[in-house]
Amino acid sequence: MEIERKWMVQGWPQGLPLLETYRMDQGYISVRPTVRIRREALQGGRTALVLCFKGAPDKTGLMREEIETEITPELFEKLERLIGKPLIAKERRTYALKNGLKLEVNDVDAGLPSHFMYAEVEYPDEPTARAWTPANDALTHYLSNECTGQPGASMGEYWTETRK
C-alpha cells in the first residue's frame, strides 16, 4: 500500500540533508489503471528498470495499492517502443526529514514549456500521514500548495496532457 501526500513546489528545499539523487525516465502504458515503466538511475549507483502497477486511489487520494517489479533491459525497450511517445524526464532528490520520513522532490521535464516541480512524502501508515504537517520539519512555506487527491495532480494525468 502506498500512502503519500503531494505538493506543488518551486525550486529545491533549503537546509535539509540530501540523501540521494536519481535521474528518471518514465512512460505510461495505461493511466486507468496505472501501468508505468521507469528507468531509475541513482547518481553514483545502479540503474533499475521498473514496471509499476497502481490501483485507484481512495476517496482522499492518500492511499492506493502499488506493485513494482524490476524488469530486464530487453523488456523495458519493448515496452518503451510499444508506448511510442517520449518518456517523461525527471530528476528526483530525496531529503531526510525528522522521524525517519523522507521528502522526495521531483523536477519534471526541465527545459520544456510544461516543466514543473512537485514534492511527496510517503508514510508508513494513515495516522502518521494525517498527523504530519510541513511545520514538523520547518517546511510550512515550501510545502504550502498541497495537491493530494486533487484532479489533474497525478503524473498519469500529466502524461495524458503532454504526450498526445
> Binning pLDDT at 50, 70 and 90, where does residue 54 land?
very high
**3-class secondary structure for the chain?**
CEEEEEEEECCCCCCCCEEEEEEEEEEEEEECCEEEEEEEEECCCCEEEEEEEECCCCCCCCEECEEEEECCHHHHHHHHHHHCCCCEEEEEEEEECHHHCEEEEEEECCCCCCCEEEEEEECCCHHHHHHCCHHHHCCCCCCCEECCCCCCCCHHHHHHHHCC
Residue 152 has pLDDT above 90, yes or no: no
The predicted pLDDT at position 61 comes to 85
Q: The whole model's pTM is what?
A: 0.94
C-beta contacts of 72-77 below 8 A and 24+ residues apart = 73/49, 75/49, 75/51, 76/37, 76/39, 76/49
Mean pLDDT across 38-42: 98
The predicted pLDDT at position 64 comes to 93
The predicted pLDDT at position 164 comes to 85
Cell of 148: 493530494
Percent of the chain residues topping a pLDDT of 70: 100
Cell of 115: 516543466
pLDDT digits 0-9 by tens, 22-38 = 999 999 999 989 999 99
pLDDT digits 0-9 by tens, 85-124 = 999 999 999 999 998 999 999 999 999 999 999 999 999 9
Distance from chain centroid for Cα 143 = 15
Residue 58 has pLDDT above 90, yes or no: no
Selected from 2.40.320.10, 3.30.70.20, 3.20.20.80, 2.60.220.10, the CATH number assigned to the domain covering 2-162 reads: 2.40.320.10
Where do the structural domains in the chain lie, given as residue ranges?
Answer: 2-162
The predicted pLDDT at position 94 comes to 98
Average pLDDT of the chain, as a whole number = 96
